[in-house]
């Protein structure tokens, strides 16, 4: 007779969410590589089912390449591209879309099974359906983003790129937060007790807000290729405030559309996030969070100094998500900790 304790629905669902979040984490890194290799416009059509299979014959590759040759990116930027060159950029966009399909299956199939077998954690049915809906929306936003670069200008809208990344980060954060809550409710995750105060909770929320906004502004930088100018730190062209920050009219548009201003904004959002998060790590006694934000800040500077070298830029994306994870963990401790004064 077995003395093992049955695994609770909370723990089953939490483990599933952790797997889903891991795939979303990897998806964000693959997306960064896709952007950095300028592969995102290599697939000019969206075929939800048949598009999962890449061209398998030489004739199929020629047909795919012929479709790409009609796109603005080929006509205006890559007119000398060979079929072998095209295959290289096609791979990353195909992998990015395939990974998105895998995430859809990993979310939908187990959820359907949990529902049929009564394994959905109490109070989480609608939340899980919301995650599924957000995943579908993310696929639509991804194609909406790609379409912006297939009309005339061979570059995706940086606003749409930021929307795509922002939604991915939100989905990832929701998965991590729900997993932490379920593991804590199940008793599997025993967090070190913390005496929380209003000041500490507010500090954590501000740190989270600045980390998230910095990540979205990173998408603005990537979408405009604004990281390829002023590859120095902390100055920009020998000045703290570059002279070409004010090209757009009205003035408030500069932080969204002028390359120098977008990079400047990302730099100092990142610095603010660094200070807030490092302080929060110290107040909550988290060496992991402190290490994560220090490494992430250094990776950002190294990425800039390297003229956005692919390995460093991909690590920078991964570092942002790891920092967000560590911050969510500590914020979970604080928001659900023992109340105190302050």
> DSSP characters for 103-168?
HHHHHHHHHHHHHHHT-SPTT-HHHHHHHHHHHHHHHHHHHHHHHTTSSSSSS--HHHHHHHHHHH
User: pLDDT averaged over the chain?
Assistant: 91
338 three-class SS = strand
Q: Which of 193, 174, 183, 175 is nearest to 336 (CA)?
A: 193
- Rounded to an integer, the average pLDDT of 146-165 is 90
52-69 pLDDT, tens per residue?
899 999 999 999 999 999
Confidence of residue 342 (pLDDT cuts 50, 70, 90): very low
User: Where along the chain do its domains lie?
Assistant: 1-190, 196-342
First CA to last CA across the chain, in angstroms?
53
Q: pTM for the full model? A: 0.93
pLDDT in tens, 203-218: 999 999 999 999 999 9
The full 3-state SS of 316-335, as one line of letters, equals HHHHHHHHHHHHHHHHHHHH
Least confident of 95-99, 114-118, 250-254, 302-306: 250-254
Residue-wise DSSP of 186-249: HTS--PPP-EE-HHHHHHHHHHHHHHHHHHHHHHHHHHHTGGGS--SSS-BTTBSS-TTS--SS
CB 264 within 8 A of CB 245: yes
Q: How many CB atoms lie within 10 A of CB 170?
A: 13
- pLDDT tens for each residue of 272-286: 999 999 999 999 999
């Amino acid at each position: 007779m077995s003395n093992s304790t049955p695994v609770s629905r909370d723990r089953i669902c939490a483990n599933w969410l952790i797997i889903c979040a891991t795939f979303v984490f990897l998806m964000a890194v693959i997306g960064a590589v896709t952007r950095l290799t300028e592969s995102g416009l290599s697939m000019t059509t969206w075929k939800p089912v048949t598009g999962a299979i890449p061209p398998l014959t030489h004739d199929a590759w020629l047909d795919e390449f012929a479709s790409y040759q009609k796109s603005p990116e080929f006509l205006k930027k890559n007119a000398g591209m060979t079929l072998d060159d095209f295959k290289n950029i096609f791979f990353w966009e195909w992998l990015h879309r395939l990974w998105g399909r895998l995430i859809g299956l990993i979310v939908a199939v187990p959820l359907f099974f949990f529902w049929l077998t009564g394994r959905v954690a109490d109070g989480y049915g609608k939340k899980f359906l919301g995650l599924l809906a957000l995943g579908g929306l993310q696929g639509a936003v991804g194609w909406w983003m790609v379409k912006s670069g297939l009309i005339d200008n061979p570059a995706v809208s940086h606003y749409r790129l930021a929307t795509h990344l922002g939604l991915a980060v939100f989905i990832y954060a929701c998965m991590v937060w729900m997993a932490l809550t379920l593991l804590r409710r199940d008793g599997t995750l025993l967090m070190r007790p913390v005496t929380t105060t209003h000041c500490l909770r507010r500090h954590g929320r501000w740190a989270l807000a600045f980390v998230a906004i910095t990540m979205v502004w990173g998408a603005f930088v990537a979408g405009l290729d604004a990281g390829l100018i002023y590859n120095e730190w902390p100055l920009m062209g020998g000045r703290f405030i570059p002279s070409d920050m004010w090209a757009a009219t009205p003035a408030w548009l500069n932080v969204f559309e002028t390359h120098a201003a977008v990079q400047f904004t990302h730099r100092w959002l990142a610095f603010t996030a660094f200070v807030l998060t490092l302080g929060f790590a110290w107040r909550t006694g988290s060496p992991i969070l402190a290490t994560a934000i220090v490494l992430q800040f250094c990776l950002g500077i190294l990425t800039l100094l390297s003229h956005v070298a692919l390995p460093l830029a991909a690590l920078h994306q991964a570092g942002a998500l790891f920092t967000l994870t560590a911050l969510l963990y500590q914020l979970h401790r604080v928001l659900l900790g023992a109340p105190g004064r302050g």
